[in-house]
Amino acid sequence: MARFLSGLLVFCLLISVSPLLAADAGGEKDGQMVFYPTSVKKAGEYSYLRNSLRLMLASRLTRISGMDAVMKESSAAGRDSALYRIESSLAKVGQGVEISAEVYTPGSTEPISFQRVAKGAAGLVNALDDLVDEIGISVFSLKDSRKVNRKSAGKDEPVTGFSTPHPDRAIKASSGFGLSISQDDFISQTELLVKATEKYKSAVIPTQSKGMTAADINGDGLDEILLCANTKLYIYQLRDKKIEHLDTVSLPGGLNVHAVNVADLNGNGTMEIYISSTRNREPRSYVLEWNPETGAKWLFENVYWYLRPLVIPGEGVVLAGQQNGLGGDLAPGIYRLSVGPEGVYTPGEMVSVPESVNLFDFVFADLDADKVPETVTINRKEQLLVYSADSQLLYTSPSGFGGRELLETYTAPIRLVVTDFDNDGYQDILIVDNELYSPEMMSKTRLYRNGQVRGLAWGDDGFFEMWHTNLFPDSIVDFQFYSKAAADGSMHGRLFIVEPDKGDIVEEFLFGSGGSRLSVFGMSFVDGGSGLPE
């Protein structure tokens, strides 16, 4: 009963937190756009979308205009007349919902009106994007607000880059779960045409996922999906247009798992599974192989290193490791590891990365196609950083890309993935963008929601977004992605995502339990041209 009441109190605190909206600064400022509450008088059962519509509208319009969003709960006559002002409304229309926006330009008393109709909540995002495009064309003289030249982004159109404050993060709410939409489409921000070619979703998995990866681990041409909890490793396979459970492997007790990865480092044709975890704040990693005929074969247990297969340009995949230092913090230094016949891991040469970078925080990527890889990493402020080959800092993003809870004193960022979406020789980055919404009073607990996978490319002034998924309202725990080029030069890939089952936040706080769900998307990437349309 005490645990229940304690959890209930924490949950009540969480849902009472006020939204993180820009406050009224008490005066007009150039470069601001004011957003008033969305009217839902005629919205019927769609009234629950009130806050979400205003936030998403603000996110998109500030991105294309380069202005800052200011949220006001009421309008005062003449007070905001020198600014752009946006009033919006939702109305039920037949089986759909109509989005309306009235835009007041500075000094005007008559609005310019825009409307779009969506077929239910699931179609709201596409309708909203069309409405924003029309506003961009009519009000800001943009030819198409969703098409940006990849190589000049951040220079000619700085508002599309991540060198400016993160457009979605700046105006997301800090309570509620945002707009619930289906993951049917990928939203492209440039000339790159991104389409979903297949979509699969698993049944609810009755465990809290701590990590996930995917690959054809046994060379049979089918993708295995490995989902790891603290006590068990679940093995799934994508076959016959469904996600099929193949096996469950029990893990030793007392583990806190934070990463699962695969690689064939012993060269026997079957990928080893590397589970990196802690026990009593000390490293405990495990290595095993699995195949459908014989099941799991344990190769190494109780390894006193955190382990990660790491792709190093010019070397290929190596096994990298890091150990604990004083007080449970990670010790400086990431090492190439070799294993002896008795299972003893021996450190070799250090991996050349900045001293502040930890084992699971970074990837190597040739962002500018000069054959010299950069180091892309996330720091504890959840900022994306880029270092040159000689460890000189080249770029720092705004904070707020999100992460996931690992230990009380250390938060592991979500996986970074390197790829080349449009097969142009410039390597790109995939990253998960989860929104942190824990109250400041809960300094040792980090809770996330509203997750998206974002595809980022490197431009003149840093990263800019090429595409993103729709929102996963309950955050993203882990993901994996791989792609290959087709004969016509287009790229095709698969995106694997694990998220908490809906309602897990409540279950976790009240009962210490919860579930997970896997999603798989086939994707195609076609470069639709370069430059803005004429």
Contact 451, 402 (CB under 8 A): yes
| Distance linking the first and last C-alpha atoms of the chain | 67
**Residue 38 CB-density burial (10 A; 0-12 exposed, 13-18 middle, 19+ buried):** buried
Token reading at 289: 């192989």
pLDDT at residue 443, rounded to an integer? 54
What's the CA gap between 111 and 122, in Å, rounded?
28
pLDDT averages per 10-residue partition of the chain, 534 residues: 38 35 44 88 83 80 82 67 89 88 90 88 77 89 53 32 30 25 52 84 88 94 95 94 94 92 95 93 93 93 94 92 79 91 87 92 94 92 90 85 56 82 91 74 64 88 85 87 88 92 49 75 78 32
Residue 334 amino acid letter:
I
Contact 512, 489 (CB under 8 A): no
Angle at 133 between CA 131 and CA 135, to 5 degrees: 70
Q: What is the DSSP letter of 132?
A: H
What's the CA gap between 170 and 173, in Å, rounded?
9
What's the CA gap between 22 and 28, in Å, rounded?
13
How many residues are listed for the chain in this entry? 534
pLDDT at residue 143, rounded to an integer? 66
What's the CA gap between 259 and 10, in Å, rounded?
28
Phi, psi dihedrals of residue 112, rounded to the nearest 5°: -100, 125
pLDDT at residue 187, rounded to an integer? 66
Contact 458, 367 (CB under 8 A): yes
